[in-house]
Amino acid sequence: MEIKITTQQTLKFLHVLSWIIFIGLCVDTGSFIFNAGYTMLNPLGSAYFGLSGLYGYDPGYYYVVMLFMSIVGVLKTIIFYLIVVILHDKKLNMSQPFNAEMGRLVFKITYLALGTGLFSYWGKEYSNWLTGQGVQMPDIESLHIGGADVWLFMGVVFFVVAHIFKKGIEIQSENELTV
């Protein structure tokens, strides 16, 4: 007995998976933003991410770290929102995959991935600088700003794919005009 998985089944699975990841990222990013706001009212909220030492050292530095965490979280969330949109609105047409809308979405994801990598890197460097100042900081993964190199690599790969899409759109439109 042979099990055949069709493209449509794979796309449905990816659609469900991207919804799950998107909702998780929304909750995660919302917790960063809520915690930063809550800490303005109650300084004990800074302990939630293990940043009470940083808040005690200087609340301004605490809010900068929370800003990096929030920006990285928002960028990741937007990336998965775009993926959900692609799969939900059936913009991924397998018979004609190279269309202008898909090209724009791939370029948007490219820039968001590069931005995520840059802000992750800046947040990591800022955290390392604070550690060098003698502030007790949690590890980068606990702050959800790790993986800058992966995001930058993914952004570069998407950049190449986006230009392939751009060329594919040009070739496909030329073929439609010759028919």
- pLDDT by residue (tens digit) across 8-31? 888 889 999 999 999 999 999 999
Where in the sequence is the domain holding 36, given as residue range(s)?
Answer: 7-178
Q: Domain for residue 19, yes or no?
A: yes
d(CA 82, CA 176): 28
Q: Of 75-79, 140-144, 153-157, where does mean pLDDT reach its minimum?
A: 140-144
Q: Domain for residue 61, yes or no?
A: yes
Nearest to 118, CA basis, from 52, 68, 44, 168: 68
| pLDDT exceeds cutoff 90 at 166 | no
Q: What is the mean pLDDT of residues 70-93?
A: 88
Q: Domain for residue 153, yes or no?
A: yes
Give how many domains the chain has, as a whole number.
1
Nearest to 43, CA basis, from 59, 28, 29: 59
Q: Domain for residue 1, yes or no?
A: no
- How many Cα atoms occupy the beta-carbon half-sphere of 166 within 13 Å? 10
d(CA 7, CA 34): 40
Residue 171 pLDDT: 84
Q: Domain for residue 141, yes or no?
A: yes
Q: Domain for residue 2, yes or no?
A: no
For 87-131, write each residue's pLDDT tens digit: 887 767 666 777 788 888 889 999 999 999 999 999 999 999 999
- The structure's pTM equals 0.88
Q: Domain for residue 38, yes or no?
A: yes
d(CA 146, CA 143): 8
